[in-house]
Structure 1
Amino acid sequence: MTHRATHLVTGAGSGIGAVLARRLLDRGDEVVLLARSAERAAELRTTYDGATVLVADLAGPESMESLALPDRLDSVVHAAGVVRLGPVADLTVDDWAGQLRVNLVAPAALTRVALPALRAARGTVVLVNSGAGLFAHPGWSAYAASKHGLRALADALRAEEPDLRVTSVYPGRTATPMQEEVHRQEGKEYDPGQWIRPETVADAILHVLDLPRDATISDLTVRPGG
């Protein structure tokens, strides 16, 4: 009997996570999604027929502790995130703490809870980072700090769990609702045609997940072409 791969994906409500969850389901894999509330879970179950949807709020990473995960996970893909731009002079404690909770602490907490299932499958952890995880531009300090921390999480996890594959993906600006929100915060007009398609990033993640066991991709940068 052929083993059906099981993947846990965050951020399936929109953008890269949504495309990836759909691709995995359509090819016959088992997909586990997270929703921040029971109401949101009902919406995701309707959108992704056949997926298992669990309730946990990334803004409250302690909610990860009570998750009942499968015994095996072939991958955990951390695709969720939030962004709040502003100069250091203007960012509040809540601006900093909110981004760190969702973008860094929640992935760390979820990964820890998922480790037994990942170890059982010798699985893959994919952390969808950002170009901001490699360099912080003015106005991006808090978001970039959370993403720099996410890179540190990946590097440490890779060394601590040698039987797992751990990949950081660094997409450039991608045409997602988050990018639209970034443009709003920047006071700029948003043209999705200027940026990477989320389908392109999802394809890159699928390549990472499907890579034969003789290799791993530790870091993958995806930049706009043209």
Structure 2
Amino acid sequence: MSTVLLTGASRGIGAATARALSDSHDLVLVGRDTAALNAVADDCRSARVVTADLTSADGPALAAAGIDTLDGLVHCAGIAELGRIADTEADQWRRAYEVNVVAVLELTRALLPSLRTARGHVVVVNSGAGYTAKAGWGSYAASKFALRAFTDVLRHEEPDLRVTSVHPGRVDTDMQRAIVADEGGTYDPGAFLTPESVAAAIRQALDATPDAHPTEVVLRPRPH
């Protein structure tokens, strides 16, 4: 049974992915909300919970502790704060990079020996904003462009690993509700992808046959 570590596993895409993988993988669920992580773990066949802030100095090492071999690392944690460049201060940009890029980098670095041992698979949940930057999305899009660069470089530098960048459009999550509220819009869950749809794409990438390297997966909501 292969082992997969998931970040952002307490809710949204991370929780949906944990449930989608539960029947065929031993899971390590990482996040900051212990109660929410335990609730997800209760839905899984085999799951261990690690409470860690991956932006802290010791968070990545705490999440990686005791893992000698790792078949899959799925980065689902992320934040999105909107605002036009003229109105956003440097702290917002720093937060976006710390959570969306640096935490991904540091946890991946901590787990590289374990991933190399298993010839494992790194899956990074990016965004449509990793390809297209729109007004008001500066700090978020910039971090997601940087995250795409990270996955491209990792793929070249670690040829024994598979590295998949997943780019969903808007997804029905708590984060999406906050975004729509910031935009002043009316929330319509049916206009977005479900977390389960993204989780299914992540599982498909992880389950790819050994000769296949799914480098990028792009998902968009269908009109309804």
By the TM > 0.5 criterion, same fold?
yes
Normalization by structure 1: what TM-score? 0.93
Tell me what 1:74 maps to: 71
Q: Which amino acid aligns with 1:48?
A: A
Q: Which amino acid aligns with 2:200?
A: D
Please list the CA deviations of residues 147-204 of structure 1 after superposition, one character each: whole Å capped at 9, or x if unmatched.
0010011000000000000010100011111111110111111111111111111111
- The gaps in structure 2 that reach 5 residues or longer are none
3-state SS, counterpart of residue 49 of structure 2: strand
Normalization by structure 2: what TM-score? 0.93
Instruction: Give 2:55's match in structure 1, choosing from 38, 56, 59.
Output: 59
RMSD: 1.3
Q: Is the 8 A contact 1:7 1:76 kept in 2?
A: yes
3-state SS, counterpart of residue 98 of structure 1: helix
3-state SS, counterpart of residue 115 of structure 2: helix
CA-CA distance at 1:69 after TM superposition: 4.0
- The gaps in structure 1 that reach 5 residues or longer are none
Tell me what 1:44 maps to: 37
Q: Tell me how far apart the structure 1 counterparts of residues 103 and 182 of structure 2 sit (CA, whole Å).
A: 24
Q: Is the 8 A contact 1:131 1:172 kept in 2?
A: yes
Q: Which amino acid aligns with 1:91?
A: T
Tell me what 2:111 maps to: 114
Please list the CA deviations of residues 89-143 of structure 1 after superposition, one character each: whole Å capped at 9, or x if unmatched.
1111211111110000000000000111111111110010000000110000100
Q: Tell me how far apart the structure 2 counterparts of residues 66 and 98 of structure 1 sit (CA, whole Å).
A: 21
CA-CA distance at 1:54 after TM superposition: 1.5
Number of aligned residue pairs: 219
Instruction: Give 1:200's match in structure 2, choosing from 191, 197, 200.
Output: 197
Which 4+ runs in 1 deviate beyond 6 A?
A: none
1:31 aligned to 2:64? Answer: no
3-state SS, counterpart of residue 175 of structure 1: coil
The 1:34–1:187 alpha-carbon spacing in structure 2 relative to 1, beyond 3 Å, is same
Please list the CA deviations of residues 30-83 of structure 1 after superposition, one character each: whole Å capped at 9, or x if unmatched.
1001122xxx22441243134111232133265213440411111100011101
